[in-house]
Amino acid sequence: MTYIVTEACIKCKYMDCVEVCPVDCFYEGENFLVINPNECIDCGVCEPECPAEAILPDTEDGLEEWLEINTKYSEEWPNITVKGETPADADDWKGKEGKKELLSTNPGKGD
Ligand code: SF4
Ligand code: SF4
């Protein structure tokens, strides 16, 4: 099993999660973060840190697509270990449904 980042992170990207990960396995896209499932040690520390409740164990039902997204983009996007600037409109997007089509495949800046 692994933890993965899901739809609720899109355009929220608070980044509280990256600071607590003991193995630095978060990767940054333009408006989304992913976890590298091959590096995550399943410690679960990041899950309660996410204000958007976007981090879930992949053992929950219906998350196959998000596992694929985390796997794919963690190979392409830069690593991020330090909390960056939260988008100004992050709170407006928190809890919104149907954000998946807004997921940018562009890489973020990383650190
Ligand atoms: S804390 Fe949650 S919303 Fe913020 S970047 Fe991490 S997974 Fe995304
Ligand atoms: S579960 Fe632990 S190892 Fe996996 S991403 Fe979260 S903090 Fe990092």
Cα–Cα distance, 36 to 13 (Å, whole number)? 16
Q: Which ligand is nearest to the CA of 20?
A: 2
pLDDT digit string (tens) for 28-67?
999 999 999 999 999 999 999 999 999 999 999 999 999 9
C-beta of residue 13 within 8 angstroms of C-beta of residue 31? yes
Bridge partner list, 34: 27
pLDDT band at 10 (very low <50, low <70, confident <90, very high): very high
Domain boundaries 3-83, CATH class: alpha beta
For residue 17, the CA-to-ligand 2 centroid distance in Å is 8
Q: In this prediction, what percent of the chain has a pLDDT beyond 70? A: 100
For residue 21, the CA-to-ligand 2 centroid distance in Å is 5
Residue 100 pLDDT > 90: yes
Q: Which atom of ligand 1 is nearest to the CA of 14?
A: 4
pLDDT band at 23 (very low <50, low <70, confident <90, very high): very high
pTM for this structure?
A: 0.95
